[in-house]
Structure 1
Amino acid sequence: METDLIGVFNNSLPGYETLTPIEIFDKAKALGLGGVLFGNILSVLPTLDPTALTELRQAAEARGLILNVGVGTFNPARPERCKSLIEAGDGDMVKGLEKVLRAMPVLGAKTVFFVVGMIEDRDDPVISWQSQLQGVIDGVKALAPAIRESGTRLLIKTHEEISTFEILRIIEVVGEDLLGIAHDPVNVPCRMEEAVECTRRIARHVAQVHIDDCYTTFDGDLMRRYLTPLGTGDIDWTELLVLVPQATRWIEFHRGQFAMPVFDKDWLSAQADATLDEYRALISATVKHERANTPVPDQKDVFARLAPSIEWLKANA
């Protein structure tokens, strides 16, 4: 694949914290990449000023770049995680996301993705996980006019707190015309899902793929995820990408090394959708790394993974 068909998250470029959006575009272009995805557009343009959005679109077009965006967390049951959306909606989270969706034709972005929350939200004793999922369902339904009228695809991300089975059930309820999937395969081991198998499960709904790599090994009785340069981890990216030829591809570097209590009876019973075959595949790979005493790559310098990712994608994707 040519690199003009591969994009990058703004926060996966070195020095992104001090770069303007235009400088982000220039950096992506200099790397030979074809697009930029702002992980939270409200962090870039909190007011969604039409003039500023137009200027961003024109700057991207002048460099031959495509644009897509995210909005961070959208979870009506957890307003503390959704402050930028609430502010954009003058106190109403759903109206904030509606405002983003209606602004996207001006920016020229075709999709807006969100995450449901963080890994600890799933087991919150105060706010049940089902009530959080129901809040997302109700919120997406309320956004139906904005999604349809703007022509912008709303995407839910495969994140560490949610299973692909749960995402499919949400799509079944709200309708695939309202919601698609931003697929992030390095997150699925957190829910005891194997990357290629879960991609087969959700492939028809996947509009974009987030590209990074990982492997798992044991940390005592825990299965821990470590991040690693693309092509050196356990994800079979060659097979995976064949399953989603329609999806745009975005390099995104992750930071967390999550650990799962994979032998804990109560924890396993709570993973109601987990399949024995995918559990076996993950444990087998984890045992392999444990026996080989696989060295842990540098988990702090995430940007060291950038050049190998571009090189691998150019050669293999």
Structure 2
Amino acid sequence: MRIGVDSSKFGVVRGRPAVAVLERAADRGLEGVYFRSVLELSPDLEPAEVKEVMRAAHDLGQRVEAGVGKVNPFATPETPEIRALGDGDYLRGMRRMIEVAASAGIRELWTATANYQFRLPDRYAYDRFRTDVGWDEQLAATERFLHKLAPVLRDLGVHLNIETHEEITTFELVRLVEAVGPDVVGITFDTANVLMRCEDPVAAVERAAPYIRATHIRDAALFFTPAGIARQLVPVGEGVLDWDRLLAPLAGHDLMLSVEGIVESTRGEMELQLYDPVWQEGHPDLTLAEAFEVVRLTTLYADRVSDGAAASREQLHRAVGEPESLAFIDRSAQHLRQILARTAGQEPTPDRSWTA
């Protein structure tokens, strides 16, 4: 497995040309970049420009994965630039992105079903709990949209890999993949997001493993709150996740472990409203065993905080600057190298990253 970085949280080069992002990733000892959008490779979606980026990536020894738009039709108004690519036709805009990516050799493409609404309170921050359109309706519309994209995906040999985003469960993702076809739809497994649906991370990765084709890698700290449990993001190895057990089901996969860093001042804090009956009713697949595992992980983290072995919620609320954001990526990558070296029975490669 390669160790790469997600471009959306790679603060040192955010907004700079794609080749500059690849160069900085290589400088930090990383082996690839997961660009959240193909438009980061070419804002005008010029095939020649995307191919030039791919030639640079090859020369730098960097793997490139990239993203396209959301596939939930009820979320597409939040990405008007994709509709514009299709001259008003969102489906056409998506097809253009997929075709240009495939022509440059990018065949593993990120997508997701919604956005997290940071400005909205409680469960309404998750599109899962919209009241104008039910979640079942959103999932059904997403499946129909994926079926419309499936012919072009098959023709081009491309996978759309739907993220385990904050609003969707692995149960639902597996059903979507199997309904549309694993030859064209896969899963981008985000290790920290599955906790937001109160899933046992190990059970979640085992459930999704046959269809995982890409990753977002970060760890999580969990804290009890009056409403339930809050999650904050921490570097790999410093949170509640059991990395040996998480990575074991992915052995043999041709994957890039893409570290997704932090840019928000509160490290992406989100909350599970466990005690809300509406929240509980909105998770028909949730089992007591998995919910209790999340509670157990939260208790273990609280014990570590009490012992001074882990950061408290207050400490993690401190503002995050660029040096800390970069250190998050470096520490995560180094811990992943140690795990991969240990499982391969080898010594870890030296940390070649530079400091901010």
What TM-score bracket applies, with the shorter chain setting the length? over 0.9
Secondary structure, counterpart of 1:130 in structure 2: helix
Task: Supply the AA of the counterpart residue of 2:132.
Answer: V
Q: Which residue of 2 aligns with 1:277?
A: 289
1:300-311 equivalences under 5 Å are 300-301=320-321, 302-311=325-334
1:62-112 C-alpha deviation (Å, 9 max, x unpaired): 111111101242321233223222122221222211111111233221211
Q: Report the count of equivalent residues.
A: 314
Q: Counterparts of 2:334 and 2:172 in 1: how far apart (Å)?
A: 34
Q: Which residue of 1 aligns with 2:335?
A: 312
Deviation at 1:44, TM superposition (A): 4.2
Query: Are 2:168 and 1:162 equivalent residues in the alignment?
Result: yes
Choose which of 217, 225, 240 in structure 1 pairs with 2:223. Answer: 217
Deviation at 1:117, TM superposition (A): 0.3
Is the alpha carbon distance of 1:221 and 1:31 closer, same or farther for their aligned partners in structure 2, counting shifts above 3 Å? same
Deviates more, 1:156-165 or 1:207-216: 207-216
Task: Supply the AA of the counterpart residue of 2:10.
Answer: L
Choose which of 40, 46, 50 in structure 1 pairs with 2:47. Answer: 50
1:280-317 C-alpha deviation (Å, 9 max, x unpaired): 01112223334544513545343331111121111112
Q: Counterparts of 2:226 and 2:69 in 1: how far apart (Å)?
A: 33
Q: Which residue of 1 aligns with 2:271?
A: 259
Is the Cα contact below 8 Å between 1:211 and 1:250 reproduced in 2? yes
Query: Are 2:167 and 1:144 equivalent residues in the alignment?
Result: no
Q: Which residue of 2 aligns with 1:172?
A: 178
Q: Which residue of 1 aligns with 2:25?
A: 28
Is the Cα contact below 8 Å between 2:221 and 2:239 reproduced in 1? yes
Secondary structure, counterpart of 2:14 in structure 1: helix
Q: Counterparts of 1:153 and 1:315 in 2: how far apart (Å)?
A: 30
* RMSD (Å) for aligned C-alpha atoms: 1.8
Q: Which residue of 1 aligns with 2:76?
A: 79
Choose which of 115, 127, 147 in structure 2 pairs with 1:121. Answer: 127
Q: Counterparts of 2:182 and 2:299 in 1: how far apart (Å)?
A: 38
Task: Supply the AA of the counterpart residue of 2:196.
Answer: C
Deviates more, 1:187-196 or 1:251-260: 251-260
Task: Supply the AA of the counterpart residue of 2:224.
Answer: F
Deviation at 1:233, TM superposition (A): 0.8
TM-score normalised according to structure 1 size: 0.93
Q: Counterparts of 1:33 and 1:266 in 2: how far apart (Å)?
A: 43
Is the Cα contact below 8 Å between 2:5 and 2:32 reproduced in 1? yes
Q: Counterparts of 1:287 and 1:315 in 2: how far apart (Å)?
A: 27
Is the alpha carbon distance of 1:36 and 1:116 closer, same or farther for their aligned partners in structure 2, counting shifts above 3 Å? same
Secondary structure, counterpart of 1:15 in structure 2: helix
**Structure 2 residue ranges without an equivalent (≥5):** 117-125, 341-356
Secondary structure, counterpart of 2:175 in structure 1: helix
Secondary structure, counterpart of 1:61 in structure 2: helix
Deviates more, 1:142-151 or 1:69-78: 69-78
Is the Cα contact below 8 Å between 2:198 and 2:286 reproduced in 1? yes
Is the Cα contact below 8 Å between 1:46 and 1:84 reproduced in 2? no
Secondary structure, counterpart of 1:289 in structure 2: helix
Deviation at 1:193, TM superposition (A): 0.3
Q: Counterparts of 1:46 and 1:56 in 2: how far apart (Å)?
A: 12
TM-score normalised according to structure 2 size: 0.83
Choose which of 70, 80, 88 in structure 1 pairs with 2:67. Answer: 70
Choose which of 50, 57, 60 in structure 2 pairs with 1:60. Answer: 57
Q: Counterparts of 1:72 and 1:290 in 2: how far apart (Å)?
A: 38
Q: Which residue of 1 aligns with 2:280?
A: 268
Task: Supply the AA of the counterpart residue of 2:140.
Answer: Q
Q: Which residue of 2 aligns with 1:198?
A: 204
Q: Counterparts of 1:208 and 1:140 in 2: how far apart (Å)?
A: 18
Q: Percent identity?
A: 29
Secondary structure, counterpart of 2:66 in structure 1: strand
Deviates more, 1:272-281 or 1:218-227: 218-227
Task: Supply the AA of the counterpart residue of 2:294.
Answer: L
Task: Supply the AA of the counterpart residue of 1:173.
Answer: A
Is the Cα contact below 8 Å between 1:42 and 1:84 reproduced in 2? no
Task: Supply the AA of the counterpart residue of 2:259.
Answer: I
Deviates more, 1:158-167 or 1:119-128: 119-128
Is the Cα contact below 8 Å between 2:112 and 2:165 reproduced in 1? yes
Is the alpha carbon distance of 1:269 and 1:235 closer, same or farther for their aligned partners in structure 2, counting shifts above 3 Å? same
Secondary structure, counterpart of 1:243 in structure 2: helix
